Structure formats: C-alpha cells, structure tokens
Amino acid sequence: MPRRPPRRPDPGLDLSFHLLAQEDLTDPFDPRKAFPEPGPVELEVGSGKGLFLTSAAAASSDRNFLGIEIAHGYARLTAGKLAAAAARNARIIRGDAGFIVGSLLPDACLAGMHVYFPDPWWKARHRKRRVLSEGFLAQAGRVLTTGSLLHVWTDVEEYFDEALAAAEQTGLFAAPSEEAASEPSHDLDYRTHFERRTRLAGLPVWRAALERLATAAPPRRVTASPARTSARAAGPTPTAPGRSDRAVPPPASGSGP
C-alpha cells in the first residue's frame, strides 16, 4: 500500500454496521448470519482501499460480501465507502485473515473467496508471513463450499506460481483456470486499486480461479484458546490481535441496519 496514511472517512458517517473488529466476533463466527438479507457470502482477504467490496456489493445485491483487512486505517476507509453507498450487503472486519479464516469461520460457509495482490511479503525470506501459505489455503478450502471459487490475482509471478503450487498440495482445489482481464470502461473500472495501479503502469497481472473440489477432506478448524490465537497455524501473522467472546451485534430487523 502507499505510505501515505489512508484518508479518514467523513466523521458524520455511522460505521457501526459496516466496520467490525476481530475481537468482537463470536467463536465460531458464521458470516451467513452477519447480514440482514440471507444470501451466499463471498469473502475478500486484504481489502485495502475497498474498491472490490464496494463495486461487488453494488453489482450483486443478491449476494453478501465480507472483507477482512488487517490495517485499521484501510478497514475504516473501506467501511466509510460502504456506509456512504448505504450498502447493506457488505461489511468489513478489521483483523487478521489467517486467524479469522483458520480459527473462527465454520466449514463450508463461503460461496467464494477473493485474494487480490495479497501482501508485500512475497520474497523467500518472508515466506512465513505470506497470506497465501499452504496452511491458509487448506483452511480456505475448508471454509469454501464445493464448487465455489478462490480468486487469486497478483503482480508477482513467483508468488503466483508458489501459491498455485501450495493450493495444489492441499488437494482441495481443481487445476487453476486463467481469469481474463476486462477492458475498463471508466477510471475506476478495475477489480481493485492494485490492479488499476499495476495495469496503468503497464505491468502484467497474473490471475487464476481455483474451484473447490468435493473429493478431498479439508483440515479441521484450528481451535486455539483466545489468549493463544494461533494465526500461525493458518496464516501469516505471528500473533493475532487479542479477542474476546463478545458477539457481533446482529443486523437490525426489518429492512436491515
């Protein structure tokens, strides 16, 4: 991400529906119960400035979209955009995707997962911190329903190749299929801000969709005591932020929050 701190959302916006905190999630946390309208839930890992979440939520009102973003400022920025758009089918959690996916989400609760330009730690010496580790990918397979897609896009070919090899190792995904780039029809008509930035710089983007297979048994959810939330077992960060067992407030009844 750019080094400039993210813009603060308009202080007049109420972020209470759109911005969740990892420490306030239930254990387990079922994302299908986190939206006012029932519908398949797709998860984005590392939402950054929130372009995917805001445009996907607007384009597919019959689906629900959940983001996880570890950087508080970007999670707030995204929540502000969702609140400004009055999106009822998208929310963002400020937290660690490795911990939330590996330890809080129940089996087969997601109808899709999106990991776009996941992290800056793609070099060999940073392997342990990578979002797309084999442990994370196995947990991603666990939380996805059979037939649903994991989308992986990045501008780092080496990371892409290693992530696809790690996904294959899990035995949970079909061979990757290439995803095509679409021609943008306006300045923000890209999947994410990083895709925009990369393409405007004339650099290549590697894109794949991996279908969750029915054939293999996924690993178990990583159960860890709250004091020892082991994002390590499933994801990239050595220590997950502390959490409590306070529940996420349910969506308001009627037309939703």
Ligand X SMILES: C[S@@+](CC[C@H](N)C(=O)[O-])C[C@H]1O[C@@H](n2cnc3c(N)ncnc32)[C@H](O)[C@@H]1O
Q: State the residues that interact with ligand X by CB under 6 A.
A: 1, 45-48, 68-71, 74, 96-98, 116-119, 131, 192-194, 235-237
166's torsion region: left (phi>0), alpha (psi -120 to 50) or beta? alpha
> Please, which residue, 241 or 257, has the CB nearer to ligand X?
241
Rounded least distance, CB 70 to ligand X, Å: 4
**What six digits make up the tokens of 218?**
């996924």
Of the candidates 118, 128, 110, the residue with the CA atom closest to the CA atom of residue 45: 118
Residue tagged active-site, from 14, 96, 119, 161:
119
Rounded least distance, CB 47 to ligand X, Å: 6
CA 169 to chain centre: 21
> Please, which residue, 16 or 239, has the CB nearer to ligand X?
239
> Please, which residue, 182 or 215, has the CB nearer to ligand X?
182
Rounded least distance, CB 166 to ligand X, Å: 16
> Please, which residue, 200 or 216, has the CB nearer to ligand X?
200
Rounded least distance, CB 239 to ligand X, Å: 11
Residue 11 to residues 5, 48, 84, 87, 245, Cα–Cα distance (Å): 16, 20, 11, 18, 28
Q: Does 27 participate in catalysis according to the annotation?
A: no
Residue 125 to residues 34, 95, 120, 129, 130, Cα–Cα distance (Å): 37, 24, 12, 9, 10
The catalytic site residues sit at 119
